[in-house]
Amino acid sequence: AQSVAQPEDQVNVAEGNPLTVKCTYSVSGNPYLFWYVQYPNRGLQFLLKYITGDNLVKGSYGFEAEFNKSQTSFHLKKPSALVSDSALYFCAVRDRGNFNKFYFGSGTKLNVKP
């Protein structure tokens, strides 16, 4: 069974500082991994995904994520946070053997303070 965990309910960071939002997964194979962002009263927006190849994936709005197979992690990062990055972030996993299941983590609220 696939599952994905986001161990932090909330992450606080000062504007201009680097940010990391953590995600770990448990798999029965090699999953596809995704990050989404949700602003208040909006739908989920795709940020980036890991399919195969280079472990460092770059996405929208300057975000990147590093796939670490040995630690089964896919942490979201950004070198310099903006106040406008404040939002809810979701990690997601999709089973390579069953495209019908797309699981989300519990979400992490990112607060970037001026």
d(CA 73, CA 45): 21
Residue 44 sits in the site that holds another protein (CB under 8 A): yes
Residue 53 sits in the site that holds another protein (CB under 8 A): no
Least distance from C-beta 64 to another protein, angstroms? 16
Q: Using CB under 8 A, list all residues that contact another protein.
A: 32, 34, 36, 40, 42-46, 49, 51, 88, 90, 92, 94-96, 98-104, 106-107
